[in-house]
Structure 1
């Protein structure tokens, strides 16, 4: 079972709560939640690694990496900016003993919907 620690108080911000759930879904391998949370034309750029475009390729990549099990996720910051942007950062530790710091920047497809149009990930192995 993945240990989850979320330091930010998401308060009454639905977008911040959504980003918390999205990051927890990534850590726990809840691929279905992640797929349901992105637009058909999703763009995910992992800086220095790859750029994934479209829901089909997004799904394929999640399937490829699902064998990497997360032991612990610490979410240090979640921000929501205006109607269409947000960010999250923290530390993820795998069951294999690797530790990563991450910062993700999100663009949403609309003000009310919790659908991610694009996101950029900065990941550093510690």
Structure 2
């Protein structure tokens, strides 16, 4: 089970909440929650790594990472068709600082169409 510390700053913004909820689902490797929040054509690019195109490819990549032991979300923010979440992920194999940048499929932010992840391993 993943220990989660949320940002606490999503109360008035549905897009901030979507970004934070998707970040939690990714950390937990929660297939149903991920599918509920992304488009079928979603693209996930891990900077310095590969790009996974389509919901099935995204889910396979998340499954390969496995669930995190802990997720600490420092900030969740959005503006227009973009949003971002940054924080710390702790896995059995180590810890990384991360920032997910989300592109919503429309201005209302109903689903996420693209994710770019910047991850820096911590010693």
Give the alignment's TM-score, normalised by structure 1: 0.88
- Cross-structure match for 1:62: 62
Secondary structure, aligned partner of 1:10:
coil
- On the 8 A contact 2:16/2:77 being kept in 1, the answer is yes
Return 5+ residue gaps in structure 1 as ranges.
Answer: none
Secondary structure, aligned partner of 2:69:
strand
- Cross-structure match for 2:88: 91
Deviation at 1:97, TM superposition (A): 5.0
Return 5+ residue gaps in structure 2 as ranges.
Answer: none
- On the 8 A contact 2:18/2:37 being kept in 1, the answer is no
**CA offset digits 1:36-93 (Å, max 9, x no partner):** 2111211111000101112232232233333xx32211000111112x1100000011
Runs of 4+ in 1 over 3 A off after TM superposition: none
Q: 60, 73, 76: which one pairs with 2:74?
A: 76
- Cross-structure match for 2:34: 34
Give the alignment's TM-score, normalised by structure 2: 0.90
RMSD (Å) for aligned C-alpha atoms = 1.5
The reply to whether residue 124 of structure 1 matches residue 120 of structure 2 is yes
